[in-house]
Structures are given as C-alpha cells and as structure tokens.
Chains A and B, each alone.
Chain A
Amino acid sequence: MVERALVPYARLAWAWCRALAQYPVSLVLLTLAQLGATGVELLALLFVFGHVDALAGFTLHEALLVYGLTGTAFWLADLLMGSVERLGEHIRTGSFDTMLVRPVSPLVQLATDEFSPRRLGKNVPSAVALATALGALDIDWTPGRAAMLVVLVVSGTAICCALWVLGACVQFFVTEARELANALTYGGSALSEYPLAIYGHGVARAATFLVPLAFISYQPALYLLDRPDPLGMWPHLRYASPVVAVLLCALAAAAWRTGLRHYRSTGS
C-alpha cells in the first residue's frame, strides 16, 4: 500500500507542485480566488446569523463548528482526490489508456493529475471557522476528545474522498456523467455545511443512511458538543464516523475495480 500507492502519489503530486511553481504569481492569484469562492459561503452563513440567533437550536458558533468540519474534510478531499472527477474526459481523450500502461495504479495517477496546492485556498475559510468555533465553544477537552477530533476530521476526509471516487466510477459507464458526480460531491458538501437538523427528518435520514453525509460533520459536531440530536436519531451514531469511513472507502475501492474491469472489457 505504502510503496505501491502512497509513494507514487507523493512523487506525482510533488511533480505537479513543481510544475505550478513555474508561475508563482498565477499560483498566488488562483489560491486567493479559490479562497474567495469558499469565503462567500462562509459570509452567507454569517449573514443568516445576522438575522437569527439560532438555526434549529444551533448557535452561531455551533453552526460554525459544523461548517468548519465539513469544509475541512471536503476541501482536503478535493485537494487529495478531486481530480478523479475528470475520469470521463481522460477516457474520451485516450489519456486514461496511457495511465493503464504504466506500472502504477491508474487511480493514483488520476487523483494526482494536475495536483494543485492552490486548492488549499479553499480550506482557509473553513479552517478559520473551525478554529473560531473550537475557541469560542465551551467544549470539555479531555485527551480522548482531543484525539477524537483528529479521528473525526480524518474520517470525514476519507468519507469525502470515497464520495469523489464513487462519483468518478459512474463515468466508467457514462463518460459524460461528471455533472451527476458533482451533484453528489459539491451538492453533498453544500448540504452538510449547515446542521442537518434544519432540513427536517426526511433529508436528515437520507443524509445518514442513503448518502452518509451526516458522518462528515453533523454527528461529529454532536459528539464534540456533547448534546442530544434534536432530530432524535440513535445517539450512538455520533461514534460511527470512523466505521462509516472504512465501509465507504471499501465500497469505493470495489466500485473502482468494477468500473476498471468494465472499461477493460468494453474499451472506448
């Protein structure tokens, strides 16, 4: 795993970073542009709280915690795996074939294609929101809870990575399905930027059991805040994020292998 996936990943990602470093001004400007794009979403949240004191029982800082957890996980996953959404394009142009004749996993090659540190710009607003929320909220910081914060962020990131890969796998079957994949990834992240409680039971259940978005930020936030779920869902769900992450990653890996087998038996 380390030698076959992580080392080539790091090599390829680093090569792209070096290529981008040839245009430092462009890199800085684009990073700022990305920062602006996600910053607007944060402003929208703050604007809402300019008019109300709480959303479905969540105060400004509690909502910022949810926003910060989602943004951190989703944009880290976007940095690491976001490029897989261009699978359909690579299949159409034939560059996916060139990936298949190299002795490195095509998923690693696809994920690192045009790897860009400028995407870190998207992480800035959510990092600020997360830091602000963690500083302002009265959280009972035991060593276990502090360690759990790291585990939850890693799990959330893994869930988002799995969603990116699942979205890409659809393109093995329908190469023009990028927008469909985006509905899952970008749509899912936009949904889980707010506490799920504001959408009511139907949406919250779908986002828990159908597409497990609830485990990116909502359930982890309930755990950190040590408060009951206003929707009254099973209280132990808040510990489930790491398990959901492992299961979803396994599902994504299986989907990738199935898609690859399908590709190699049809060609395009």
Chain B
Amino acid sequence: MTSVPLTTPVIDARGLGRDFTRVSGPLLRRRRERVNAVHDVTFSVAPGEIIGYLGPNGAGKSTTMKMLTGILSPSHGRVRVCGLEPSRQRTLLAGRIGVVFGQRTTLWWDLPLRDSLALTRHLYRVPAADHAARLAELTELLELGPFLATPVRQLSLGQRMRGDLTAALLHAPELLVLDEPTIGLDVVSKSAIREFLLRLNTEQGTTILLTTHDLGDVERLCRRVVVIDHGSLAFDGDLARLRATAPTPRTLVVDLAGPADPIEVAGARTVRVEGPRQWLELSANPAEVIAAVAGAHSVADLTLREPDIEDVVARLYSSGRAAAGAPRREDPVSG
C-alpha cells in the first residue's frame, strides 16, 4: 500500500473530463457523436474537509463520482484519490474509501443487519478485533442496537441508511463518498445522519464528499461547496460566498379563500398567481410577512418553501453570466 503524507490532497482532480459516444439513428445510417458529460473539472480536497458537490440533475455529478471511485475511466485529465489512480487501482482504492449510494443499498436484503455487516468485514478483510471495536462504536453513534438483528428488507429507509453508513465505515476509510445520503428521509433521520457525519469528520478526521439536492445538508455540513453545471465547474468556494453570489430567497406559498389581486406586503414580492394560490418571494423575516399576510387577507393555508440546490445553481448561473461573464473559480486550472 502506498503511504500518503498528510499534506497530499485526498482528492486531486486536474482537467478531469469525460466524453460519451452517443449512437443514434437507424441501424444502417448510425450517427455517432461525442457528448461531453464532464469538461475540464479541476479541484482538490484536503484531508479532513467536508465538500458538497452540487449541481442540477444531469450536470455531471454522478459521472464525476464514478470517475473518483474508479467505476468509470476518465477521457481527459488526471485524478488521484488517496494517492491512487482510481481507474487503474480500483480494488486497492475500494479498501481505502467508503461509498454510500442513497438510492440503493449495498447490504444483503435478506440477511439480518448484523450478518450483513459481518460479511462486509470479510470482504474488506478487517481483523475481527478491529471490526468488533468499530461496530460497537458505530452502533452507539448511529443507535443501531434495536435493529441489528432485523433483516435489512424490514428496515425503514432511515435505519437502512444508518446500516449502509456503518457498512461503508467499518474498514475506517480515509474518504467517505456519499451520493444523496438523505434522499427520502424524514426530518429526524436527516438530522441524525448530519450530526453523525459532523462527528465523524471532527473526531476521526474522515474526509467527506457528498452530493445532495438538500440545501439543509449543505448548510449543516459543508463549509466549502463545488458546483458543477453543464459538465463544467461553475463555483468552488465557501458556502457563504455562494450565497452572496447567488442570493436565493425562500418562497411563501399562500392559499387564499378565493382568487384575489396579487398580495402586497412589506418584505415580500408576489412572483406568481394561480387562482387562489399565490407565490411570494421573501426578503424579510418569514414570521413578519406571514403575520402581515394573515392580517390583510383571509388565508386558507400557508407553506414556506426552502430554496433547493436547483434554485441556487440557476441563480448562480444567471448572475454569473450577467455580472462576471464567466463562472467563478478559486483554484487555478493547470494542465
């Protein structure tokens, strides 16, 4: 195994690119065209960082993840993860990183969680004593105790995700790659997972790279975010700076008793009206706006909608084009 000095980045991607060949048309007149899924992506992740890798669907997030984990070979550029070349040293790398796909489990459906985890130990060849200590620790942190004996197929989504996280962490990986770790979870489960990831990062120094559509995940976990859009790096920097670059207001959805003129209150702007339902973009404290709306109108229902990643990225992109003229980047692109 290669030893990696602490100063070496955990992830180092330079000019990373990936083309796909798309074949279309009838059998005899096939047209082949090169599609550029990821283009010239450069970023590096230092040990102990938590990075949010964000972008709308189809932006190239999964393709990048696959190149980082060795599932896919890059067409351009180079990438090192834990000092290894993922596509050539995939098996070696697999023993040093943990990967969790939020939408599919790596556990064995019919086995009790405990047995699934024991099997994982054998696949990763973790010594029994290390496994026992690590499992005890994770069982306590993730509160697995009540369902360790339950077959995986009977677990709730939140329990299963905690099980999957445990499976990905039993071999004490240096890097944890999470693809949509909180998708479909309820608020309590989401919060439990986020707090766990924070502890893992601060107490054990595990580097975490996650993709998510949940702005809550990003706000709680990531100091730094990397945004990819249309296959290219659109932003790399502080979450605070992303917010400043692309301020994204929350939306108040108001259901009135009946159709009415657009609501006019201080601290909000009505952006859309559909029958009795109106959409207000908030610029002030939601509580004040809600009070003002309720005071002036007969309200049947109210929903406060948090902006999601798509909104932020859309803002980023339009403001970037209008203001800077080009996507912003902190790291210089070399190579």
Contact = CB atoms under 8 A, between A and B. Distances in A.
Interface of A: 7-8, 11-12, 15-16, 18-20, 22, 93-95, 97-98, 100-105, 264-267
Contact of A104 (B63, B71, B73, B123): B123
B115 A15 contact: yes
A22 B150 CA distance: 12
B87 interface: yes
A267 B72 contact: yes
Interface residues of B, number: 32
Contacts, number: 75
Interface stretch (B104-112, B216-224, B247-255, B289-297): B104-112
Interface stretch (B88-96, B190-198, B201-209, B323-331): B88-96
Given A11-B123, A15-B119, A265-B73, A102 B108 contact: no
Contacts of B92: 103
A264 B71 CA distance: 6
B66 A98 contact: no
Contacts of B70: 100-101, 264
12 contacts: A19-B110, A95-B104, A98-B106, A100-B69, A100-B70, A100-B94, A101-B71, A103-B91, A103-B94, A104-B123, A267-B63, A267-B66
A18 B71 contact: no
Interface of B: 20-21, 63, 66, 69-73, 87, 90-92, 94-95, 97, 99, 101, 103-104, 106, 108-111, 115, 119, 122-125, 151
Given A264-B72, A266-B21, 10 more contacts: A8-B122, A11-B122, A19-B110, A19-B151, A22-B151, A98-B99, A98-B106, A103-B92, A103-B123, A104-B123
Contact of B94 (A15, A18, A102, A267): A102
Nearest to A261: B73
Query: Closest 9 CB pairs between A and B?
Result: A19-B110, A103-B94, A103-B95, A101-B99, A267-B72, A11-B122, A98-B106, A100-B71, A15-B119
Instruction: Tell me whether chain B's interface is mostly helix, strand or loop, or mixed.
Output: mixed
A159 to B, nearest CB: 28
A102 B115 contact: no
B111 A97 contact: no
A267 B115 contact: no
A19 B118 CA distance: 13
A93 B73 contact: no
A11 B123 CA distance: 8
Contacts of A18: 111, 115
A267 B21 CA distance: 11
A100 B123 contact: no
A98 B69 CA distance: 10
Contacts of B111: 15, 18-19
A102 B106 contact: yes
Contacts of A20: 110
Contacts of A265: 72-73
A32 B334 CA distance: 65
Nearest to A266: B20
Contacts of A100: 69-71, 90, 94
Contact of A8 (B90, B104, B123): B123
Contacts of A93: 104
> Which of B87, B109, B110 is packed against the most chain A CB atoms within 10 Å?
B110
Contacts of A12: 119, 123
B124 to A, nearest CB: 6
Contacts of B94: 100-103
Contacts of A94: 101, 103-104
A51 B212 CA distance: 70
Contacts of B104: 93-95, 98
A15 B106 contact: no
B66 A102 contact: no
A102 B123 contact: yes
A15 B108 contact: yes
A141 B17 CA distance: 65
B119 A11 contact: yes
Nearest to B125: A103
Contacts of B90: 100
A258 to B, nearest CB: 14
B119 A98 contact: no
